């Protein structure tokens, strides 16, 4: 189920971005919906797929000196390369301009 969520949200964002020009003429609407789908993709990868598939967790703590410290955990001490590629590649693909 986590694999389906992982790829379906990503595919929805990319498919909407590519096919939206056929149905919507407003760049603002396309941009806003694409950004919302990309944010949803990030949330799903961080909170659902990352935890279920790889055991990733990260959070921010404030130590005794008042400094912000980020904590990162992984199930086996390894990070799945597919999640890292997804977090970098999809925003790059969505951010490239359309070719008319």
57 by Cβ neighbours in 10 Å (0-12 / 13-18 / 19+) ranks as middle
Does some domain include residue 100?
Answer: no
Segment 10-27 shows an average pLDDT of 85
Q: State the residue for tokens 């379906």.
A: 8
Tens of pLDDT, residue by residue over 58-100, are: 778 999 999 998 887 776 655 555 566 666 666 666 666 555 5
Mean pLDDT computed over every residue of the chain: 75
Number of domains in the chain: 1
45 by Cβ neighbours in 10 Å (0-12 / 13-18 / 19+) ranks as buried
Does some domain include residue 30?
Answer: yes
Give the range of the structural domain holding residue 40, as residue numbers without chain letter. 2-95
Does some domain include residue 66?
Answer: yes
């Amino acid at each position: 189920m986590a694999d389906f969520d992982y790829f379906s949200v990503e595919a929805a964002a990319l498919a909407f971005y590519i096919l939206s020009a056929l149905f919507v003429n407003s760049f603002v609407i396309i941009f806003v919906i694409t950004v919302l789908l990309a944010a949803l993709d990030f949330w799903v990868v961080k909170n659902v797929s990352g935890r279920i598939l790889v055991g990733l967790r990260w959070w921010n703590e404030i130590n005794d000196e008042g400094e912000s410290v980020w904590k990162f955990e992984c199930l086996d001490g390894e990070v799945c390369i597919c999640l890292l590629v997804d977090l970098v590649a999809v925003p790059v693909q969505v951010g490239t301009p359309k070719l008319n």
